[in-house]
Amino acid sequence: MSTSKGWKEELGRLRKELNFKSFEMAIAYINAIAQIAEQHNHHPKIINTYNQVILELWTHDENAITDLDWKLAEAFDELDVNFE
């Protein structure tokens, strides 16, 4: 199932793949979302390969996607505009 702004529901996770112009931009994005994740006290799985970043969100205690995951996805989406 696809969702807005590139998020997909796959295997009980919200997943999004992003590609940046460089490794440095990918790392800058990861650092920026780390701040947001800390503010929400909810942390994504982050996979980085050169200029690609893959994010996965799910609530570990529930082993499912919850409102907390959707709120964090929305917060990340607001940040995405600065990295386009």
Q: Which two tokens stand for residue 48?
A: 């980085």
Confidence of residue 4 (pLDDT cuts 50, 70, 90): low
Give residue limits of the domains in the chain. 4-83
What's the fold here for domain 4-83? Answer: Gyrase A; domain 2 (3.30.1360)
Query: Alpha helices of 1-84 — where are they, by DSSP H?
Result: 23-40, 67-80
- pLDDT, tens only, 26-84: 999 999 999 999 999 999 999 999 999 999 999 999 999 999 999 999 999 988 666 76
35 Cβ contact partners less than 8 Å away, ≥ 6 residues apart: none
79, HSE (Cβ side, Cα atoms, 13 Å): 19
What residues does 59 pair with on adjacent strands? 64
Q: What is the pTM of this model?
A: 0.89
